[in-house]
Structure 1
């Protein structure tokens, strides 16, 4: 079977090995797979869809690392009795009703198509591009199974998180490896490392700001770079996320040529009672307004695609905190999504990580 890819007939799909017996199962022409992964999304915003999604998400030990005996009763009996209603209401506000899916799903599909087109141009039909979600659908296990069935003998797994965190990049990789454990014919595998300092990522981020800046009636006094938060304890236990966020901000500031202090690094989406990375975005923008800052813009460099944390939290709670404390002009700069410069950056990162597999 080791030389199956070289022994197939010229049939473009499933083929028979030239020297195999008549009852040998069909063998797909060998391909390389690229699987991009994002956090996930509920299938809908009703109570049970939200409960299933939140249960999977909040039961992940990489996300909440408390002992199960302590955490699960609280999660199942209290949190999942109430939170699906509030989270569902927030999802409803941003839902793509035309397509019946969340914005994250719509954008991830667009990103997949854009990356697929670039891979087709560069490598022809030798590279297959798919996407999966860590939580919800399409599930990582199901997509890996299909890629193996399609003939992907090598898979490059790409978590779409510029900065590494155990609760994002690592848990996505964990799920990918779990999927591989169930395959009879296990493909060779690689994972893409964090790309927080990749020049093309920084360039795409800078360009997104430079496009919006001239359209704002009065220039913002401060740009707030709001990253997803995490417990401070994780940093002290060795997670590099905080340091990588700080470096992303510094590289962005250097690329824009701005003076020190023009960009503020903050952290959003605090959950639970323990201390998280500070400053908290919602508190920081309120303090900026109280100090006399009237105009700010907010960008979210840790998110590859707009989602509930940007479209609802930043545009809702964080905007309100600024305006209710005296702020006058609040501008949210969208995530990179399927912007051409962003997709060029992702394609470049994929190509770099495919070296040795394909030229």
Structure 2
């Protein structure tokens, strides 16, 4: 029996597939439009009747939103590398994780929307002899709009395969001790680099429609738990902490309080110096580098604020890589 088990293990080959949201191939209107079309056609993201929504999307949303979004991507694009920040940091995370774990394990990455696709990477890994793939959505907090969509796509691909690899998932890590510790260390390391002492630290999570939570999505309370644990970990700072939600889209009510509204109110409370932290993002992207660091900076300063900073995401920091290594194993 031992011989059989040993022989079987010789034929097992493992891979870790990191999956992030996605990015257009470039900041041209054409590429941004293609990316937005795929993203906003996902029924996990937009829960409207497909026929009606596709008409709205193609006739109204894409023609007007694509040029505006392309200009925003152009602002944050890493032109010397010809990569979006999200693509760059995901590549770095993949490279560093591959160096950190067992040499027999293949580490690769895919994007839920755009390239490289989940489908292409699953077939690529199988062609390399991989029999078991650990799918690792880079979302600390679970939401049907993000994590579930990744697994939807994985199983859509598997449905078309006669010889399917074994799939293992990574559960949401919103309360993992190493994740909380990584956030804590990042804050404590970043504050001394500022040229001001913050009156308040605002934890801004990506928002989702409130109706998603009403239907049973656990995202809201997982964000609250992350915030509670980090707040406890930073209790010796003697700086006020709050949480909010950003990136609203469409007319429906989203999770609140909205980051924009909080930024407008804070100066009226004599909170004029602020540090923003984005615990829900595994890598810096358009939402952190443009929406928060530029657009919302103007919101705060125009409301009377004097000092404003956005802390970088965990990206490929040592603490983050130790967390990813633990979860990947």
Residue 137 of structure 1: aligned partner:
115
Q: Does 1:218 align with 2:191?
A: no
Q: CA RMSD in A?
A: 1.8
Residue 26 of structure 2: aligned partner:
44
Q: What is the DSSP-based 3-state SS (H/G/I as helix, E as strand, rest coil) of the residue aligned with 1:124? A: coil
**Higher RCO structure, 1 or 2 (CA under 8 Å, sep 6+):** 2
Q: Does 1:54 align with 2:36?
A: yes
Taking structure 1 as the reference length, the TM-score comes to 0.88
Unmatched runs of 5 consecutive residues or more in structure 1? 9-27, 352-359
Q: How does 1:136-175 map to 2 (within 5 A)?
A: 136-175=114-153
CA distance in 1, matches of 2:238, 2:211: 28
Verify the 8 A CA contact 1:223 1:296 in the aligned structure 2: yes
Verify the 8 A CA contact 1:227 1:266 in the aligned structure 2: yes
CA distance in 1, matches of 2:56, 2:156: 27
Residue 115 of structure 1: aligned partner:
97
Residue 76 of structure 2: aligned partner:
94
Q: Offset at 1:261?
A: 8.1
Which region of structure 1 is more displaced relative to structure 2, 173-182 or 60-69?
A: 173-182
Cα deviations by residue, 1:66-117 (Å, 9 ceiling, x for unpaired) = 0012211110011111111000000000001111110100000000001111
Residue 67 of structure 1: aligned partner:
49
Residue 181 of structure 2: aligned partner:
203
Q: How many residues align?
A: 326
Verify the 8 A CA contact 2:199 2:239 in the aligned structure 1: no
Q: What is the DSSP-based 3-state SS (H/G/I as helix, E as strand, rest coil) of the residue aligned with 1:266? A: strand
Unmatched runs of 5 consecutive residues or more in structure 2? none
CA distance in 2, matches of 1:70, 1:220: 47
Q: How does 1:1-359 map to 2 (within 5 A)?
A: 6=7, 30-119=12-101, 123-125=102-104, 127-258=105-236, 262-351=240-329
Verify the 8 A CA contact 2:198 2:239 in the aligned structure 1: no
Cα deviations by residue, 1:131-155 (Å, 9 ceiling, x for unpaired) = 0000000000000000011111011
CA distance in 1, matches of 2:8, 2:213: 51
CA distance in 2, matches of 1:277, 1:201: 23
Q: Offset at 1:350?
A: 1.4
Verify the 8 A CA contact 1:5 1:29 in the aligned structure 2: no
